[in-house]
Amino acid sequence: DAKTTQPPSMDCAEGRAANLPCNHSTISGNEYVYWYRQIHSQGPQYIIHGLKNNETNEMASLIITEDRKSSTLILPHATLRDTAVYYCIVYGSSNTGKLIFGQGTTLQVKP
Amino acid sequence: KAGVTQTPRYLIKTRGQQVTLSCSPISGHRSVSWYQQTPGQGLQFLFEYFSETQRNKGNFPGRFSGRQFSNSRSEMNVSTLELGDSALYLCASSQEGTSGNTIYFGEGSWLTVV
């Protein structure tokens, strides 16, 4: 079973920041938080991952709480092309190549 | 650099046949994982290979098998196809498959069983 909980759906206005929450209260010390998104009929696209520090790349920012029990993915200026299903995944070396996908959050960016 | 490449992209097979799907990982990546995605079950892990050895396996019947070659390319095979095997099959690669590695997915192979 997935170790994460995400809201099933969210809306965001185009040009505004999209903040996608994820709860992972049972995360272990050596487990990373990964975010992917999937646009209909395409393979999941890697967005970002982190252990305990906040991370930023050209796509998004990842904010992990100090207790590591939750995180937020931030898309700073959402566009219509960001409409997708977003998956938050907890992954540790004991998983050995196995990402466990939950149901994800369907983000709808509206004009 | 080139991403994860999967072939074929689309194929149609008949019940009872077998199918082989191919995955070429990103150059330098030695870990390759396979997933099945269906509308009802979502994304489910099939197996993972590293340096030609299967290190992890999901809960799928023995009709699903895979292998990895010395150049890290991987294939998966499904024998005696059933209608329920119709799905998007995804391949993912990373350098070591360990936590902290970036894991990239290919575009997938769409299999339809009729």
Predicted confidence (pLDDT) per residue in B2-26, tens digit: 799 999 999 999 999 999 999 999 9
Give the closest of A43, A92, A102 to B90, CB-based: A43
| B99–A31 CB contact, under 8 Å | yes
**CA separation (Å) from A9 to A1, A2, A17, A86, A104?**
20, 17, 16, 9, 8
| A98–B31 CB contact, under 8 Å | no
- pLDDT for the residue numbered B1: 64
Give the burial string for B79-93 (b: 16+ CB within 10 Å, else e).
eebeeebbbbbbbbb
- pLDDT for the residue numbered B111: 98
Return the H-helix or E-strand segment holding A48: strand A45-50
Beta pairing partners, B92:
B33, B105
Chain B hits for A92, Cβ within 8 Å: 99
**CA separation (Å) from B112 to A4, B35, B80?**
31, 16, 13
| A36–B105 CB contact, under 8 Å | yes
- pLDDT for the residue numbered B35: 97
| B56–A95 CB contact, under 8 Å | yes
CB A35 within 8 A of CB A47: yes
Q: How far is B2 from chain A (nearest CA, A)?
A: 15
User: Cα separation of B88 and B35, whole Å?
Assistant: 8
Chain A hits for B55, Cβ within 8 Å: 96-97
Predicted confidence (pLDDT) per residue in B46-83, tens digit: 999 999 999 999 999 999 999 999 999 999 999 999 99
Place of tokens 């997708």: A84
**Closest chain A residue to B46, measured at CA:** A98
Chain A hits for B4, Cβ within 8 Å: 43
Q: How far is B94 from chain A (nearest CA, A)?
A: 8
Q: How far is A90 from chain B (nearest CA, A)?
A: 9
Q: How far is A73 from chain B (nearest CA, A)?
A: 17
**At residue B85, does pLDDT exceed 80?**
yes
Chain B hits for A43, Cβ within 8 Å: 4, 90, 105-108
Predicted confidence (pLDDT) per residue in A13-52, tens digit: 999 999 999 999 999 888 999 999 999 879 999 999 999 9
